[in-house]
Amino acid sequence: MERITISHNALKKIMRESFEDVLTERKDLIGDAVVEAMEDIGLARAMEEGRTGEKVDLIGFKKRLNTIIKRSK
């Protein structure tokens, strides 16, 4: 296998162009990633706020989680 040498600036330019292509042509990928990250943040916040040592019913937990997720958006 042949080795290719590329300068730091050339690699940076190629990476930037590739990233711009993904952003412009595959917006759905970025949108899905952002939505998933927001859901994860909402779940983490709900878990942190819910650490009381007391048990909660499932319906109450889901309502609280949905409220926090909506607030995060």
What is the extent of the structural domain holding 50? 28-73
Buried b (16+ CB within 10 A) or exposed e, 27-50: eeeeeeeeeeeeeeebeebbeeee
Q: How many domains does the chain have?
A: 1
Tokens 């909660």, residue located:
56
Instruction: Give the whole-angstrom CA distance, residue 29 versus residue 32.
Output: 5
Asked if residues 38 and 73 have their Cβ atoms less than 8 Å apart, the reply is: yes
pLDDT in tens, 36-72: 999 999 888 888 887 777 777 888 888 888 888 888 7
Q: How confident is the model at residue 10 (pLDDT cuts 50, 70, 90)?
A: very high
Q: Are 50 and 56 in contact (CB under 8 A)?
A: yes
pTM (global) more than 0.75: no
Residue 14 has pLDDT above 90, yes or no: yes
